Amino acid sequence: MASNIKGFSKWTKEEKLKWIATTYFSDATEVVPLIKTYWNSDEDLQKLHDEFIENTITNFYLPFGVAPNFVINDRNYTLPMVIEESSVVAAASKSAKFWLERGGFKASVLDVEKIGQVHFIYKGDFKKLARFIDSIQNQFFSDTELLTQNMRKRGGGILKIELRDKTLALENYYQLHVTFDTKDSMGANFINTCLEQIAATLKEQVLVYTEFNEVERELAVVMSILSNYVPNCCVRASVSCAVADLASSEIANPEEFVAKFIQAVRIAEVEPFRAVTHNKGIMNGVDALVLATGNDFRAVEAGVHAYAARNGSYSSLSHAKVEDGIFTFWLDLPLALGTVGGLTSLHPMVKIALKLLGNPNAEDLMKIVAVAGLAQNFAALKSLTTTGIQQGHMKMHLKNILNQFKATDDERKNAVLHFEKNIVSHAAVVELLESLRK
């Protein structure tokens, strides 16, 4: 059992690793070399990785794959994808190729506003508070001028500061709801720094506002923080073609396919249990690209799922329709992404990913990421409404099972041939390997 330790963060990486190995593993001589296997041989590169977070003992690698043949707004792309799930890159590539022959994907940014809030408690008259906030609006902007000057040069900055009365939800609770445009940066640090200055101005000015009594001057700031919910930083991706043009080797009857496809989408629109899995498929594509480009996939996930529940019930992010013989499939996603700052300028593979995409600005990256999500969703729904999801997924998963049991090259060849005509399952693979090894 591990005992409490002090000063762990100040230990060297070797000391941390030795403690982990001897405290939690029965054979330290086996685990230490394994962990060190994942250290980068380039010392400068390893030092860079070590300093991304605290208490680093090694690196954890995920596959970096690419999905070619994406046409987005009439431009060709190969998408970088970082993900461990076996079928995701294959599905994205297949979807890209399908729509390559049908006009490709379209994408447009609907808005780019991001939100930060100063949360505070005020026990007094709301009208008096509103007059106070109006009176110091210019002070908020002047006190943040030094912080926003570079962003303003790029066309961004603080757009507006609004007082919001939240007392129906929580007694005496108000907020300053601040809208930002952070241009090509995700902007988290910029937003939070500005918010803290706005909070400081609020606390200073409340003490000298002559209309307030002593109780009202006790206005207390609780916290100042950006929001990862960005419904006004939104992008739309879509595909569209004549129903007849959907015919392919897997779609013999386009009309029947479209009817079933749209019904599958509508089920996800009204049934939360289905919608969660439906949207998870979208995020397979989104997260893989967000990770590859050094963006915060956790923030994206949180914001997207809040958006999916914005009307009071969790629902599908994507939608489909047929009008005048034209099939259209689309989604809207809130995406706060950056192409400058953070890991984008530090992580070597992030630089390669962005170069692969043609060094997009933030708005172009929003479009590309939304398309990745739509492509993934189309591939999943196409499989679900035709051959079934497991046929393709389990054949990709076959490799992982064979690796798990250290299959030889001959065993792999036999397994591939066998499962061309048989259903892949973990038990079936184990049974086959046992028979081959007798």
Q: How many residues does the chain have?
A: 438
Residues acting as catalytic residues: 85, 280, 296, 393
The 3-state secondary structure of the chain reads CCCCCCCHHHCCHHHHHHHHHHHHCCCHHHHHHHHHHCCCCCHHHHHHHHCCCCCCCCCCCCCEEEEEEEEECCEEEEEEEECCCCCHHHHHHHHHHHHHCCCCEEEEECCCCEEEEEEEECCCCHHHHHHHHHHCHHHHHHHCHHHHHHHHHCCCEEEEEEEEECCCCCCCEEEEEEEEECCCECCHHHHHHHHHHHHHHHHHHHCCCCCCCCCHHHCEEEEEEECCCCCCCEEEEEEEEEHHHHCCCCCCCHHHHHHHHHHHHHHHHHCHHHHHHHHHHHHHHHHHHHHHCCCCHHHHHHHHHHHHCCCCCCCCCEEEEEECCEEEEEEEEECCCCCECHHHHCCHHHHHHHHHCCCCCHHHHHHHHHHHHHHHHHHHHHHHCCCCHHHHHHHHHHHHHHHHCCCCHHHHHHHHHHCCCCCCCHHHHHHHHHHHHC
Using left for φ > 0, alpha for ψ between -120 and 50, and beta otherwise, residue 388 falls in left
Residue 173 CB contacts under 8 Å (≥ 6 apart), including other chains? 119, 120, 121, 166, 167
Centre a 10 Å sphere on the Cβ of residue 76 and count the other Cβ atoms it contains. Answer: 13
